[in-house]
Amino acid sequence: MIRASKLPPDVQAALAAEMDRREREDMTPMRLLVLLLGTMGEIKHKTRLQKYAFLADSQYSQSQDGSKTKDLVCRWKLHRCGPFSEYLDLCVREAMDARLVTASEIRANKSRHTTYRLTVRGNAEHRRLLQSRKRVSRSIRGLLARFQHDSSEAALAKLVAKTTLETNLPGPAHAAC
C-alpha cells in the first residue's frame, strides 16, 4: 500500500484537490442542514437558519486555496431579510418528514419563533457525516462558533452582508432584518 505522505508534493496536491471536488459534489442541502444543526445544536428563527445556512454554504463552496467558487449548494437569492433559499426551505420540510429535524414553535411576549433541532435520528446522521466530511465540518464549525452563544444580530448581519456581496446573488437588494 502506498502512503500519501510518500507521494510527490504535486501528486499530493492533485489528490487533495480531487478529494475536495468529490466531497463538494457529494454535498446536498439536506447534508448541509444536518451538519449545520449538528454544529449549532439548535437555531432559533427561520431567518437566522437561512443566514447561518448561507454562511455555511459559502464557506463550504470555497476551493482549497481559499478562493470562492460559484457552485453554492442551496440556490440562494437576495430577499427582504437577506439571502434566502426556497430549496433549503423545502429541505427543512423534507428533513422534518424524514424525522431528522424537529421544529418547535415558541411564543413569547406577543411574538413567536421557530426553533430547529436535530432529532435522535438526525444526530446519528450528523455523526456519520462528520466521519466522512471532517474538513467541511471543521470549517463550518470554525465559521459559526462565534455565533453559537451570541444571539445578537449585528455581527451576523455584517458577515452575511459581506458574504452576500462576495457571491453576487441574484435578486433585489433590500434592508436586512
CATH number at residue 54: 1.10.10
Q: Is the pLDDT of residue 20 over 80?
A: no
b/e per residue 27-65 (b: at least 16 CB within 10 A): bebbbbbbbbbbbbeebebbbbbbbbbbbbbbbbbeeee
In-domain check, residue 79:
yes
In 27-119, alpha helices (H)? 29-40, 46-60, 86-97
In-domain check, residue 9:
no
164, 169, 173, 177: CA torsion to nearest 10: -50
Tell me which residue range forms the domain holding 49: 23-167
- Cα separation, 18 vs 14, in Å, equals 6
Percent of the chain with pLDDT strictly greater than 90: 25
Residues in the chain: 177
What is the model's pLDDT at position 100? Answer: 96
What is the model's pLDDT at position 115? Answer: 94
Q: How many domains does the chain have?
A: 1
Beta-sheet strands, E only, within the chain: 42-44, 77-79, 82-84, 101-108, 111-118
In-domain check, residue 172:
no
